[in-house]
Amino acid sequence: MKTSFACITGLGCICAAGISLKAIMPVLYTGKRNPSAPSNFRADIDKTSPVFEIAWSLPADPSVTYALKTSRQPRQSTPSRTSLLALAAAMEALEHAHLDNMILKKKRVGVVIGTTVGCTLNNEPFYRAYRDKKNPEVSPIKRFLINNTALYVAGFYNCSGPAVTIANACSSGTDAVGLAKSWIENDICDIVIAGGADELCRTTYLGFTSLLITSQEPCRPFDRNRKGLNLGEGAGIVIVESNRSVKERGVQVIAYVKGYGSSGDAHHPTAPHPGGSGLRRAIDIAMRDSGSKVNEIEFINAHGTSTMDNDKVEGKVIANMFPNSVPVVSTKSYTGHTLGAAGGIEAVLTVQALVDRQIPATAGFEEYDPECAITPTTKNTPIKSGTAISNSLAFGGNNSVLVIGMEHA
């Protein structure tokens, strides 16, 4: 029996739809999106696919303003874009949760953040020069070594709990929130800063292009005429807190991480199992962990990448396991596929949709695909403020699922 519940007390998000959660939700509800050719790097290919870049030039370190206000200096002078995205979302989430340095100092605070590439693939010029025996300056490597995303955030806030960066492909952010739930329920932490962060990167962009799964048009999840995904960037952070800490602080619980499930396909490096066996197990584990029933699920925030295989497999699993046509949305139609950040961003958006009692239309969907077997939302859809699911399917065959609800199990 659980002695502590994984309470969500703060939310923070930054993505192509907006630089804060407050800015993002109206964009989703008005159906606006504007993917475009990448501007922060050169692709050097004939045909480019649009991406969901953040329309905000990150300063050298957004923590500088905060540091000046509190007379503290940033711990690291050369943070990566991924670390800055994580910090920006964490700042918003901590403010939302009414947490400051004085409170954090008195608590066991853990940090767990999922990412895929972080800053690790942005050193092409260094490696090219090294290969050509030009003896390049090593600052790019030093920058890489100090940019463990979780350690960057933990170091900035002097967190005393565990700090873990999860690199589990596209399920990384979901797995981070799932691990945070475990830390709370097992009394390892009082508070956990959890989620995902990833920046757009030339190497990632070219890699996905070479896999022939990117679209030269805006993505259209679950649509019969979908052509592939659009990459994106951003960060999504949830503050997960024990009910004891919540009671001590006298703050409001926004929602609960009720269930978490993870299961592998062991099928293919990039493609999901055709029968969706791993996703089925992950959903089943998460549902049992949450104590929820199928008819209690108000909506599903699908992985919904807009690729042929993923949408087909995920759609069939949802249709089979939730036969009463539970509403399905893919928020990637507004954010792009943010890789390791996706699960964190989608957890935040799922919680906020429950709070708003409304889910947005799935942008780009027009024509039903019988192979997907589901029709995602085509307009803003009212829901009850109950329980929702967020799915993540990853390269390597990993499937991770969160059950998020307004009441604990």
Catalytic residue among 7, 119, 303, 372: 303
* 164: three-class secondary structure by DSSP: strand
* Residue type for position 326: V
> Which residue in the block uniquely carries the two structure tokens 């993540």?
392
Cα–Cα distance for residue pair 355/332, rounded to 1 Å: 20
CB atoms inside a 10 Å sphere around CB 73: 11
Please tell me the distance from the alpha carbon of residue 390 to that of residue 258, in angstroms, as a whole number: 12
Catalytic: which of 96, 189, 337, 372?
Answer: 337
Smallest CA-to-CA distance from 339 within 106, 52, 147 is with 52
Check if 303 is active-site. yes
Marked catalytic residue, from 15, 170, 189, 372: 170
- Angle of the 81-96 helix axis to the 149-157 helix axis, nearest 10: 50
Q: How far is residue 176's CA from residue 202's CA, in Å, rounded to a whole number?
A: 25
Phi/psi of residue 309, each to 5°? -70, -50
Residue 322 falls in which region: left (phi positive, over 0), alpha (psi -120 to 50) or beta:
beta
CA–CA gap between residue 343 and residue 290 (Å, rounded)? 18
Active site residue 372: no
Which DSSP category does 232 fall into? B
CA-CA distances (angstroms) from residue 308 to 263, 281, 373, 400? 22, 22, 13, 20
Note if 7 is an active site residue.
Answer: no
Q: In this structure, what token pair is assigned to residue 365? A: 């969907």
Shortest CA distance to 235 belongs to which of 356, 371, 83? 83
Please give the positions annotated as active site: 170, 303, 337
